[in-house]
Structure 1
Amino acid sequence: MNKTEFNKLVRKVLVKNMTHSSNEKEADHVINTFVESITLALKDNDEVFLVGFGRFFKQKVATRKGRNPKTGETMTIPAYIQPRFTAGKNLKDSCNNIT
């Protein structure tokens, strides 16, 4: 699902949960606000834990050896911080049709 398709889904959910209709701009605002909020929290070294949905956090990846796929030459991949997400119980259950 791309962002446009996700926008349509968000509009559908907004209409279902609210008393008024929702437009594409409003749904985009909701999506962008959520993404920006998670990004800012991770940038500030915070962890975002949404009970039942999941946890957004950062994890350090150590320096390691790798190979250049074009040349086969061994190279060192420097350490970096990786954003991570772990699904919560409700999200896992919904993916497995468990109610």
Structure 2
Amino acid sequence: MTAPASAHRAASGWNYPPACCHGDIEHGECQAIPEKSVKENGGGWSIVLEPGDHRKVTHHNRYFVPYGSEIPSSDGNYHICLHPTEEHENCFFVPPGEM
């Protein structure tokens, strides 16, 4: 059981940058995603999300984040912020050991 999180806070307790997250842990755009959804590919990160991988995803979505645009995560997980719609990656977080 976890305590309620405030706006811009990941489920594990660290804070997303305010420019990335618009909302809270239950309704915000930022969330941890499965490691299997992320692959390194051609100068960046290829991310494939299906419904259930992220609260905003309602259909198959693909994203590409060039190297240097990722942000270190503080909990060892991958996270993505989708804003203003599920088709738009706003921020992508990578475990420091993977960068």
**Structure 1 or 2: larger helix share?**
1
TM-score range, shorter chain: under 0.3
Question: TM-score with structure 2 length normalisation?
Answer: 0.25
TM-score, normalised with respect to structure 1: 0.25
Question: As a proportion of its length, which structure holds more strand?
Answer: 2
